Amino acid sequence: MTDFSGLIDGYKRFKTGGWQRQRARWAELADGQNPKVMVIACSDSRVDPTQIFDTSPGEMFVVRNVANLVPPFETNPGYHGVSAALEFAVTQLEIPEIVVLGHQACGGCGAALSKRFEHAPKGAGGFISDWIQLLDEARERVVAEHGEGEAAIRALELEAVKVSMVNLRTFPCIPQRESAGKLRIHGAYFAIADGMLHVLNTGTGQFEPR
């Protein structure tokens, strides 16, 4: 199991291996970034977008959080980390594509379904509870159809992707660029057990394996 000293060892391998092989690329990136895709993914250690999509440095602008969620556009005071990253990617980097990436066995979606942090104090689950309230409406739909078993967890994981896609479009800069043909939004789901990527067909509302 990797600890901090293991990370340092990994860095040394990277510096003498991957960094050296792409030295010209790293020199280019030192002058700025120009990614063509933003990926909104879960913080889960098993779901690294750069691994799943086999990308090189500088190709993706990545935001990761519990359950790959995008909050709706809000202007109330506070620290809006996801919103700031989204704003920067779309209005400053002018990224033309956004991918919301959900995944199998998502702990955040599981917690949203079970509501196990519902009354927890801040610092002991309360922050998680507040965050995953973004899935409350989706949870109600899922429970009404599937109950609260394994099928419900999978259904909520898929719904979480759709919720984030809906919330993306509450940011004024998103529909403006979509209508101008400058931005496309995609939904995807990674199944950890079999390594299969499922992509949302916006016409049917179904996730289809690739």
Between CA 201 and CA 187 the distance in angstroms is 8
Instruction: Return phi, psi of residue 208, to 5°.
Output: -115, 135
123: left (phi over 0), alpha (psi -120 to 50) or beta: left
Q: For residue range 184-202, list pLDDT tens digits in order.
A: 999 999 999 999 999 999 9
Per the structure block, which two tokens stand in for 141?
């739909």
At 17, is the secondary structure helix, strand, or coil? coil
Between CA 31 and CA 27 the distance in angstroms is 7
Q: For residue range 64-84, list pLDDT tens digits in order.
A: 999 999 999 999 999 999 999
Q: For residue range 161-179, list pLDDT tens digits in order.
A: 999 999 999 999 999 999 9
Res. 2 pLDDT band, cuts 50 70 90 = confident
Neighbours of 70 (CB within 10 A): 27
Nearest-Å Rg of the Cα atoms of the chain is 18
Write down all domains in the chain, each with its CATH number in brackets: 1-32 (no CATH), 35-209 (3.40.1050.10)
Q: Which residue pairs, CB below 8 angstroms and at least 24 apart, start in 150-154?
A: 152/113, 153/105, 153/106, 153/109, 153/110, 153/113, 154/104
Residues 6+ apart with CB under 8 A from 124: none
Segments of the chain assigned E as strands: 37-42, 60-65, 97-103, 184-191, 196-201, 206-209
Q: Does residue 1 surpass a pLDDT of 80? A: no
Q: For residue range 100-132, list pLDDT tens digits in order.
A: 999 999 999 999 999 999 999 999 999 999 999
Res. 21 pLDDT band, cuts 50 70 90 = very high
Q: What pLDDT, on a 0 to 100 scale, did the predictor assign at position 138? A: 98
Average pLDDT in the chain: 97
Q: Which amino acid is at 165?
A: M
Q: What pLDDT, on a 0 to 100 scale, did the predictor assign at position 65? A: 98
For tokens 């390594």, the residue is: 195
Q: For residue range 39-57, list pLDDT tens digits in order.
A: 999 999 999 999 999 999 9
Helices marked H in 70-193: 81-87, 107-114, 126-132, 136-146, 150-168, 173-179
